Amino acid sequence: MKRAISIISRVLLSLLFIFGYFIYPDMVQAKKANNIVELKEQLAELQAQKQKQASAKAQTQSEINAKKNSIYKAYQEKENIKGEVEDAKNKISESEESISKAKVDFDNVLKYYQVSSKNNNYLEYVTDASSTTELIMRIKAVERVTDYYKNKITTLKNLIVEKQNLQVELNEKDNQLSSAITTYSNALDELNDQMEAIDEIAEDIDSQIRAQEETIKYYKSICESETQALSTCTNDPQSFGWRKPTVKGRVSSLFGYRTFDNAFHPGIDISGNAEGTPEYASAAGRVAAITHRSNCGGNMVYLHVTVNGQKYTLVYAHMLEIKVKLNQIVTTDTVLGTVGGYSTSTHYSKSGYDRCAYGAHLHYGISTGWYHVDYHTWSSFISHMIDPMKTGFPSKGVYWYKR
């Protein structure tokens, strides 16, 4: 049930990512920065978002610690219950042995009375009393011996019932604790997933903040003032068509919702190349951002390009090495880096930081507009994504051998 809900949620999110920008543009489109002043405003928003994430992380960690403590206490109580159950079993066993012994003693007393009665010993003992009072006392003494064993047997039987009931109660409590541990553990798993998501978001925000700071620094170096329109500050190169990012390869995973990992895939995966294969800019432009060792994506390069008068942001992920620098002007012959992708290869075995890699490949994405300029949040970047297959790639699984 939990997995089904998770899958449905992911599908709905995927549909929101795919169609949200076109249906509700005001909901997903962040404010465009027209000058350096507005770029700084975007930076302030990112920094405020980072503070919120830090608070959320602290709160989640507190909840994780509380759940761990509850689980620890429940396990301790289960251990105590084991001891109490064992003690109850021992008491039951001891009582049963005592009952058996008391029954033997009681039977012996009865046999003694029966034998004594036949031999007149009992009558002799009773009638040999010197007075009526002594007679009554002797009869009472015999009755007390008989009652003693009867009461002892009854008491021991009641003790057995008591301990058996206690054992049932303890077993029920043990089951309740086991159920509570399962509930706590499930909640802990959810909190750990939540913490992982917060960590990813926080890491992404850090990358966004660094990229935004570098974007501001870049425009400060080319603009005459902070109020000058950004479009008049730059003379970045333009392209009039697309080239492929690798000399050869094949598309192994398409853009959109994927069933095998129940997630929206904001790009295409290009396989068929070994690690270390060069990756090229598919259009002329500028290196807008670089991310190193992201938990999901590894080493990444973002390019701002203009193709046929339209602005785009290109993203290259799971790179083994990055060969360019921030704000570097690139052409379609510029090697941006090399193919990576193995999260367990010799290149990543010691770090294992890129948990979203499943083999040597390039994750290649295209969004409309310039990330960190026309919009500055990750959700907006995802909402602007388009299918790279429309730029001239062959069908999935079909190899190409030239760019």
Tens of pLDDT along 243-256? 999 999 999 999 98
Residue 75, pLDDT above cutoff 70: yes
Q: Average the pLDDT over 178-185 and give the result.
A: 84
Residue 335, pLDDT above cutoff 80: yes
pLDDT at 16: 42
From 66-75, 120-129, 189-198, 219-228, the region with the lowest mean pLDDT: 120-129
Distance CA 98, CA 87 (A): 16
From 58-72, 111-125, 137-151, the region with the lowest mean pLDDT: 111-125
Q: How many CA atoms lie within 13 A of 10 on its CB side?
A: 16
Bigger pLDDT: 15 or 40?
40
pLDDT at 26: 32
CATH number for the region 1-30+235-403 comes to 2.70.70.10
pLDDT digits (tens, 9 = 90+) for 219-277: 998 999 999 998 888 778 999 999 999 999 999 999 988 777 677 889 999 999 998 99
Bridge partners (DSSP) listed for residue 368: 312
Give ∠ CA 390-375-200 in degrees, rounded to 5. Answer: 90
Bigger pLDDT: 86 or 280?
280
Give residue 128's pLDDT band: very low, low, confident or very high (50, 70, 90). low
pLDDT at 9: 46
pLDDT at 130: 57
Query: CB of 279 within 8 A of CB of 246?
Result: yes
On average, the pLDDT of the chain sits at 80
| pTM score above 0.85 | no
Enumerate residues 6+ apart whose C-beta is below 8 A from 154.
none
Give residue 199's pLDDT band: very low, low, confident or very high (50, 70, 90). low
Number of neighbours of residue 349 by Cβ within 10 angstroms: 10
pLDDT at 20: 39
pLDDT at 277: 94
Q: Tokens 């928003």 belong to which residue?
A: 45
Number of neighbours of residue 289 by Cβ within 10 angstroms: 22
pLDDT digits (tens, 9 = 90+) for 371-395: 988 988 888 888 999 999 999 999 9
Counted residue by residue, the chain has a size of 403
Q: How far from the centroid of its chain's Cα atoms is residue 30's Cα?
A: 29
pLDDT at 351: 41
Q: Average the pLDDT over 58-72 and give the result.
A: 89
Bigger pLDDT: 98 or 142?
98
Distance CA 139, CA 136 (A): 5
Bigger pLDDT: 316 or 121?
316
Give residue 32's pLDDT band: very low, low, confident or very high (50, 70, 90). confident
pLDDT digits (tens, 9 = 90+) for 285-308: 999 999 887 767 788 999 999 999
Q: Average the pLDDT over 78-94 and give the result.
A: 84
pLDDT at 110: 61
Question: Which CA distances in Å does 140 have to 98, 114, 135, 143, 148?
Answer: 25, 17, 9, 5, 12
